[in-house]
Chain A
Amino acid sequence: MSAVITTALIGILMATAILYLVRRDHLHGSYALWWLAVAAAALLLGIFPQTIDWLGRITGIAYAPVLPIIFGLGMILLRMLKMDIDRSRSERQLRRLTQKLGILEEELAQTREAIKPAAADVGPPRAKTAQVIPLSKSGDA
């Protein structure tokens, strides 16, 4: 009886922790869904550990407790693969954004250079015109 209480406690603790963290809204869309599913599984397996024995009988695995371990490890590996794919995608995006930022900054400087003499001909700027703010030398960003 006490083993069931222990597993139930562990399951409930895990589920509550995950639920709490997901509720704080730090997770983006599908990630939250994934972790809610993990919380549900922890809760289910914690409260009804006999599910594992039942699964063992169905799948024909003699030592049933190894089942959640293998399954969990597999899911963790998949999850890590997905994480690396996501990170590669963000890296690509970050690089392209950095490049675009550099290119646009250069174009902005050129455009300002081109506008400057024309503005000087007109004379002092009127009250409500946009001010040209000189950019600080980049490299410090």
Chain B
Amino acid sequence: MRKKNDNNQRLLAIIPARNEAATVGEIVRRVRAVVGSAILVVNDASSDDTSAQARLAGACVIDLPSQLGAWGAAQTGLRYAKRNRFTAALTLDADGQHHPEELPTLLDGWRRSGANVAIGTFPQRLSLAKRLAWRYFRLLTGIGVQDFTSGLRVYDRNAIRVLASRQASLFDYQDLGVLMLLRKKGLDLHEVPTVMSPRRSGGSRVFSSWPMVARYMLHTTVLCFAQFGVRGRFAQARAATHA
């Protein structure tokens, strides 16, 4: 089940899935064909046979007894990664918007940059609302990432440790809160441009309607104030002395 890949790193591919029975099996097979790492599907209390489809495709499956949301499921995977001493973890969505074929590009960009975290983004995909929202949050946080909600990410061992902690348990999405916490802990981010397709089934969880957008903007703004801490430079200096 667990293989070492070429760079002597134990990589775990985490696929959070909720009611994705139609696509999850195919995604698992494609990830295995492209990356060849251990694959963990975190089934977020689906009501369809997501879990069975993922098992059938040969993934290791964690069935959550109750729904935890996108980040809760992803964090379960990261805790599993920490517990089983994986040295890197990548996350991608089960709905087919992230192409597993893009993973080598992402991993390559991540290794070459030497950053703790790499985010795969696809700026062309963003709607006007998202583009405006991200510009606002870039101003607010000073984190220069094109797409904050992209679930296509690679985390190294330090990032896994930070994100598996209790401190990261109250986030709802794998977005700004997660990035701000990482920055607060002195970890650095790197963005890798990738190709994504529009979601096949279901819309964006965050940007489904205007009231939802307003809610999200408000929540995330509050989160920004709550997480506002040491700016990157200090944190990085601290990390350097620790290393």
The chain A residues found within 8 Å of chain B, CB to CB, are 88, 91-92, 95-96, 98-103, 105-106, 110, 137-139, 141
Contact = CB atoms under 8 A, between A and B. Distances in A.
A110 B40 CA distance: 13
A96 B166 contact: yes
Interface stretch (B41-49, B109-117, B127-135, B215-223): B41-49
Nearest to B80: A103
A95 B60 CA distance: 21
Interface residues of B, number: 24
B79 interface: yes
B51 A139 contact: yes
A98 B52 CA distance: 20
Contacts of A103: 62, 76, 79-80, 83
Contacts of B46: 139
Nearest to A94: B66
B176 interface: no
B65 A101 contact: yes
B37 interface: no
Contact of A139 (B63, B68, B75, B76): B63
Nearest to A106: B62
B240 interface: no
Contacts of A100: 79
A47 B63 CA distance: 59
B170 A102 contact: no
Given A98-B64, A99-B64, A92 B45 contact: no
A103 B80 CA distance: 7
A102 B42 contact: yes
Interface in B29-55: 42-43, 45-47, 51-52
A72 to B, nearest CB: 28
Contact of A137 (B51, B60, B72): B51
B169 interface: yes
Interface in B1-43: 42-43
